[in-house]
Amino acid sequence: MRDNISHYKKLKNMYLNANINTDIYSTTTVKIEEGYSEVGLIISKKYFHALGAIHGSIYFKLLDDAAFWSVNSVVTDYFCLTTSFNIHLIKPASTGKLLAKGNLKFKSKNIFHAESSLYNEDGIEIAFGTGSFCKSKITLDSNIGYI
């Protein structure tokens, strides 16, 4: 159990210190447990499309990231990659904090499937997605921020 907690902490550090999250999505939060993760983001007007709600790319990022971390939580040697991801948008969002929850649904030696749901700050589901992931050849080490 102790080794897993260290693994989750290193994944969290790697994620939150990635340029995309420090430079663009600076309000990002993440929680990682075995087969489960949560990714949060405070909505900013810089994420809006012309109609005054967040762009679909934000939905995709949060859903993909939550599903991804649920997968990489159980992979302790290599960085995983998204091979496909499908999203379904239910409702628009323009204020507050969003929270995506990801769950690992299937794992084999190198292939994984996960799902995620995105909620607004009132706890209403506004989108969901499913994805496939695989192990890459990139080891989890300090060279990629796994510290």
Q: What is the pLDDT of residue 3?
A: 75
CATH code 3.10.129.10 for 2-144: yes
Q: What is the pLDDT of residue 76?
A: 96
Q: How far apart are CA 131 and CA 116, in angstroms?
A: 9
Cα–Cα distance, 15 to 99 (Å, whole number): 16
DSSP letter, residue 121: T
Give the per-residue pLDDT at 61. Answer: 98
Bridge-based pairing of strands 111-119 and 125-139 is antiparallel
CA distances from 95 to 62, 99, 122 (A): 15, 12, 11
Q: What is the pLDDT of residue 2?
A: 60
- Residue 123: the pLDDT is 98
Helix (H, G, I), strand (E, B) or coil at 97: strand
Does residue 140 contact residue 146 with C-beta atoms inside 8 Å?
yes
Q: What is the pLDDT of residue 78?
A: 98
Going by C-alpha positions, the residue among 57, 69, 80 that lies closest to residue 115 is 69
Decide: 42 and 27 in contact? Cβ < 8 Å. Answer: yes
Q: In the chain, what are the domain boundaries? A: 2-144
Single-letter code of the amino acid located at 141: D
The DSSP element (H or E) to which 68 belongs, if any, is: helix 56-72
Of the chain, the end-to-end C-alpha distance in Å amounts to: 18
Residue pLDDT tens, the chain, 147 long: 567 999 999 999 999 999 999 999 999 999 999 999 999 999 999 999 999 999 999 999 999 999 999 999 999 999 999 999 999 999 999 999 999 999 999 999 999 999 999 999 999 999 999 999 999 999 999 999 999
Q: What is the pLDDT of residue 1?
A: 54
Residue 147, both tokens: 């510290």
Identify the pLDDT of residue 87: 98
